[in-house]
Amino acid sequence: MPRHVAVIMDGNVRWARQRGLPSSAGHEAGVRSLRELVELCCRWGVKVLTVFAFSYDNWVEVEFLMKLFEKSIKSELEGFISEGIRISMIGDSSRLPKTLQELVSDAEDRTKNNSNFQLIVAVSYSGKYDVVQACKSIAQKVKDDVVRRDDIDKSLIEQELETSCTDYPYPGILIRTSRELRVSNFLLWQLAYTEFFFVQTLWPDFGKAEFVDALTSFQQRKRRYGRRDS
């Protein structure tokens, strides 16, 4: 079983349009799919789930998403606390409304000691932005004499990436719905040996059967992580 599963939740709007519903209905259905996936991950021993809510490059139709995000955190937080689920958010939070920033910060704080499972939500996230902010962080540490300039290498950059909030920063599998075949600037640094699973299903229709397919595909691959067979 992969310890870390990453998901690009694509297709909410298309799902709604296919049914003659407003986009908001698609996003709400998407939240239900996410809830189901979180339960499955907890049950089946996955330790970390990272989901790409939306990109730093895509601030269209965001107002409704902000409200939905706020509503979801408020309704799910107590459940997450009781089930030992830790919530983390990665991405450029400075662009989020102040109320949402405070809510997220509070949720992260109240669940930081939970260890059964970690849900990482990437909001206004960009893989390139993640690398650049890691470099800024290191620059600050060099300035403060915490780190020497000669010690700057890829390991140091990895420690400063936003995914260092978890013990398992490298996803074993990346699932993208709606049959799009790209990573769209998500977790660029972290995906070197991640198995890609691109599935035709739209995100609101992604359920247990599709997740089993993805995990079966992951388990069947011979993974060498760049090493040769001895």
Partner 1 sequence: MDFRDTMQKVYSWACQIGNLGLWIIWLLIHFAVDLWYFALHIACAIESYLISSGILKRYKALDIDKLRYLAIVIESEEAYHIPAVIQLLQWLVDIGVKHVCLYDAEGILKKSKESILGKLNNATLFEEAGESNLLLDHKHITLEFASFPDGKEAVAKAANLLFMKYVKLGGSGKIQEEKIFTEAHMSEALRAVGCKGPEPDLLLVYGPVRCHLGFPAWRIRYTEIVHMGRLKSMRYGSLLKAIYKFTMVRQNYGKSSFNYILLLQVVPHVLLKRYERTRDLDRKNESVT
**Using CA atoms, how far apart are residues 70 and 41, in angstroms rounded to an integer?**
23
User: Residue from 20, 82, 228, 230 that binds partner 1 (CB under 8 A)?
Assistant: 228
| 3-class SS of residue 142 | helix
- For residue 116, how many other CB atoms are within 10 A of its CB? 11
Contacting residue, 22, 115, 180, 208, with partner 1 by CB under 8 A: 180
Q: Find the part of the chain contacting partner 1 (CB under 8 A) among 1-9, 55-63, 70-78, 104-112.
A: 55-63
Helix (H) or strand (E) holding 174: strand 173-176
Stretch that binds partner 1, among 29-37, 70-78, 98-106, 153-161 (CB under 8 A): 153-161
Q: Are 120 and 163 in contact (CB under 8 A)?
A: yes
Phi/psi at 108 (5° precision): -65, -40
Q: Does 148 bind partner 1 (CB under 8 A)?
A: no
> Residue 152: which of 166, 168, 134, 165 has the closest Cα?
134
Q: Which of 21, 40, 42, 191 binds partner 1 (CB under 8 A)?
A: 191
Quickly list DSSP for 6-26: EEE---HHHHHHHTT--HHHH
Interaction between residue 64 and partner 1 (CB under 8 A): no
Active-site residue (options: 10, 92, 151, 167): 10
The reply on whether position 43 binds partner 1 by CB under 8 A is: no
Amino acid symbol at 194: T
Active site residue 10: yes
Going from the C-alpha of 98 to that of each of 2, 22, 86, 91, 102, the distances in angstroms are 35, 27, 22, 15, 6
CB of 38 to partner 1, least distance (A): 24
Q: Is 182 in the site for partner 1 (CB under 8 A)?
A: yes
Q: How far is the CB of 163 from partner 1 (least distance, A)?
A: 13
Q: Is 194 in the site for partner 1 (CB under 8 A)?
A: yes
CB of residue 222 to partner 1, shortest distance in Å: 5
Contacts of 150 (CB under 8 A, 6+ apart): none
**Positions in the binding site for partner 1 (CB under 8 A):** 13-14, 55-58, 60, 127-129, 131-133, 135-136, 138-140, 142-143, 149, 152-154, 156-157, 178, 180-185, 188-189, 191-198, 217, 221-224, 226, 228-229
